[in-house]
Amino acid sequence: MPFVREWLVERYAAPVLDELADPSGIEVAVVGGGAPAGVAEMDALPDLRAIVNFGVGYDNVDVAEASRRGIVVSNTPDVLTDAVADLAVFLVVDVLRGLTAADRFVRSGAWGRGERFPLTRDVRGAVVGILGLGRIGTAAAERLESFGAEVHYHSRNLKDVAWTYHASAVELAAASDVLVVLTPGGAGTEGLVDAAVLDALGPDGYLVNVARGSVVDEDALVAALEEGRLAGAGLDVFADEPHVPDALLARDDVVLLPHVGSATRQTREGMGRVVLDNVDAFLQRGELITRVDG
């Protein structure tokens, strides 16, 4: 974010990597916007000791390689939990009630011509499956309960909650009217929501993804929608951002957002403060306040 760069330049005269004539002496790298921090970037900064990531997800950072080199990594948890959970819930409401589709219906003049918008589905009473019950998943589940939804979940570990647990993503999808993807990205979850999960969700089911595009097999999702094996989807993330498949752009049963889960001024400023706090803590004390375990 521009204001984070401004803060870093103000406080530390921080250069941009591409403009760096001499990489020696650079101990901390700040990365954001999904920019990669892998072998090539680490090779380019021989004195690197810490990577500070702007974002709660850090699948853009090769944490294992960083750990091998003795480089510590941080992210920005907690400050974006509410914003992302809110968006997840809004997408659930939208796919069930067809709010943005109804907006397009009015703008097209269809209502004025006497056409009727089709009936939609209540959120109350719907079974919403949360795939990944971490901080954000828990916050989304709590919000959905207030709408009267029945919450089920699958996570790597059984949680001490009252919601119904399922042993796999397929089992969770089979029990759900809406499946909300809130897992981390990275190799461990790549393609987790595949054709089998989508088929288990079924022709009356909806998929909502506010995690990472890599978690969902996008080709399988497009095929399920085109073949009527899925009722619709709400997507804030995609496999090859900012590119969205043409097949999704043309569909009225899909809500498409430009990866804005945490995109509020307050949340992004909060994330920026965590970044700056991590940089300060590392340069002053040699530690990170929100360190990621490798």
Residues 9 and 72 in one domain: yes
Q: How confident is the model at residue 280 (pLDDT cuts 50, 70, 90)?
A: very high
Mean per-residue pLDDT, 251-273 = 96
| Size (the chain), residues | 294
Residues 153 and 16 in one domain: no
Mean per-residue pLDDT, 135-151 = 98
pLDDT digits (tens, 9 = 90+) for 195-220: 999 999 999 999 999 999 999 999 99
Residues 225 and 277 in one domain: no
Q: What is the reported pTM? A: 0.93
Residues 21 and 128 in one domain: no
Residues 74 and 96 in one domain: no
pLDDT digits (tens, 9 = 90+) for 7-26: 999 999 999 988 888 999 99
Residues 52 and 117 in one domain: no
Which residues, 6+ apart, have CB-to-CB distance to 140 below 8 Å? 84, 85, 88, 89, 130, 180, 182
Q: Which domain holds residue 44?
A: 2-79+264-292
Give the pLDDT score at 242.
95
On average, the pLDDT of the chain sits at: 96
Residues 73 and 89 in one domain: no
Give the pLDDT score at 204.
98
Residues 122 and 155 in one domain: yes
Residues 187 and 58 in one domain: no
Residues 70 and 211 in one domain: no
Report which of 82, 132, 138, 88 is spatially closest to residue 268, judged by C-alpha positions.
82
Number of structural domains, the chain? 2
Residues 195 and 164 in one domain: yes
> Which residues does the annotation mark as catalytic?
212, 241, 259
CATH number of the domain that 97 lies in?
A: 3.40.50.720
| pLDDT at residue 248 greater than cutoff 90 | yes
| pLDDT at residue 281 greater than cutoff 90 | yes
Looking at per-residue pLDDT, the higher value among 268 and 17 belongs to: 268
Spatial distance between the Cα atoms of 105 and 99, rounded to a whole number of angstroms: 10
pLDDT digits (tens, 9 = 90+) for 218-227: 999 999 999 9
